[in-house]
Amino acid sequence: MNCEQVVPYVPGLAGDELGAETVRWVQAHVAECDSCRAESVRYRSLASGLATLNTHEIEPPAFLAEAIAERVRGERHRRFLPVPPIVSPELARAVADNRDAIVSAGATLVAASAAFALWRAARNRRSTRIAST
């Protein structure tokens, strides 16, 4: 094995993604190659830095918690009927995620039905007029 073959796998030594056999031959090369060993050590320290990054707080905007609570309160009042338990959470989420599309499709359907009803009524009136003359 040479560096060119091993280099793509070196970042994998810092995680748990490589298979045991791959780890074995990558480590065998790393043990003998100074530059790949240095790189492997660097990836490990990078991985340990990343693993503790979630304790590094990112301050949310001051208004956020209240804005979220307000939004949830609004949703609670809007949804006066609870979701029946037979609806799976996945379906409920899909409906919630696509609410705008569903409302648009419904509105289009209602408009199309109304147009069809008007057209039909007009046609019936014309037929009646022709029959009476």
Partner 1 sequence: MHIDATLVEAAKRGDPEAFEALIERTNKAVYGLVFRLVGNHEDAADVMQETYLRIWRSLRSYRGDAAFETWAYRIAANAAMTHLKKRGREAEPVDPATLAPLERAEPSPEEPPDADRLEEALARLPVAMRTVLVMKDVYGFSLAEIAKQVGATEGALKVRVFRARRRLAEELYGNEVIVPMRRKKTS
Which residues of this protein are in contact with partner 1, per CB under 8 A? 3-4, 7-12, 14-15, 17, 35-36, 38-39, 41-43, 45-54, 56-61, 64-65, 67-69, 71-73, 75-76, 83, 89, 92-93, 96-97
Q: Which is nearer to partner 1, 65 or 121 (CB)?
A: 65
CB of 104 to partner 1, least distance (A): 16
Compute the least distance from the CB of residue 74 to partner 1, in Å: 10
One-character DSSP codes across the chain: --HHHHGGGGGGGGSS-S-HHHHHHHHHHHHH-HHHHHHHHHHHHHHHHHHTGGGS--PPPTTHHHHHHHHHHHHHHH--SPPPTTS-HHHHHHHHHTHHHHHHHHHHHHHHHHHHHHHHHHHHHHHHHHHH-
CB closer to partner 1, 21 vs 57: 57
Other CB atoms within 10 A of residue 42 CB: 13
**Shortest Cβ distance from residue 101 to partner 1 (Å)?**
13
- Kindly tell me which of 70 and 120 has the beta carbon lying closer to partner 1: 70
Based on CB atoms, which residue is closest to partner 1, 41 or 115? 41
